[in-house]
Homo-oligomer: A and B are copies of this chain.
Amino acid sequence: MTTVQNKLHWLAKVTVTRKATVVDPQGNTVLDALRHLRFDSAEHVRIGKYIEVSVSAADEAEARSEVAKMCETLLVNPVIEQYAFDLQQID
């Protein structure tokens, strides 16, 4: 007798940001642009990436592990970047 394993579907919302000690020229440029547009309230800008990945996995632990591996293998440069993600079931 075989067991069919039902895979569930999960959505990971990943934010990738530069580590605090790494300069962010793109963020500084956007801050300058905001100041030129008279947004005097703007104090600081940091730019990162936002990635939504949907994965199939049997449970939350497996989904979380898969997404972490994807981040560490491809999506994030661990030398200068850090990441965090929220995971939700979408079925």
- Count of A residues near B, CB < 8 Å? 35
Overall SS of chain A's interface = strand
CB proximity to B under 8 Å, residues A6-61: 9, 13, 15-17, 27, 30, 33-34, 37, 39, 41-57
Residues on B with C-beta less than 8 A from A80 are none
Closest B residue to A16 by beta carbon equals B50
- CB-CB < 8 A to A44: which residues of B? 52-54
Q: Which residues of B contact A37 (CB under 8 A)?
A: 73-74
Q: Using a CB–CB distance below 8 Å, which chain A residues touch chain B? A: 9, 13, 15-17, 27, 30, 33-34, 37, 39, 41-57, 63, 66, 69-70, 73-75
